Amino acid sequence: MIDRLAVLGIRLDRELNVAGEAGRLSAADSAAEVLLLPTNEELAMAREIQEVITSELDLV
């Protein structure tokens, strides 16, 4: 996916990308920094749902 951004000068360091560790993944000559940020999307969605349910109960 990120290979399409090469036209903009954005490049990955292949070794860092394969390692899969959080942090910088961009090559030294990349026009922009590429980062791998760990996320827990399921937890974020659950918190959003909890907030909606709580706010709905407050309306009753």
Beta carbons of 16 and 28 less than 8 angstroms apart: no
Judged against a pLDDT cut of 90, whether residue 60 lies above it is answered with no
pTM beyond 0.85? no
Q: How far apart are CA 52 and CA 39, in angstroms?
A: 21
- Determine the structural domain holding residue 28 and report its residue range: 2-59
DSSP codes of every residue in 1-50 = -GGGGGGGT--B-HHHHHHT-SEE-B-TT-SS--EE----HHHHHHHHHH
* Average pLDDT of span 25-49: 95
> Which one has a higher pLDDT value, 32 or 58?
32
Judged against a pLDDT cut of 90, whether residue 19 lies above it is answered with yes
User: Could you give the number of structural domains in the chain?
Assistant: 1
Provide the pLDDT for residue 56.
78
Q: Cα 53 from chain centroid? A: 27
% pLDDT > 70, the chain = 98
Q: What is the mean pLDDT of the chain?
A: 91
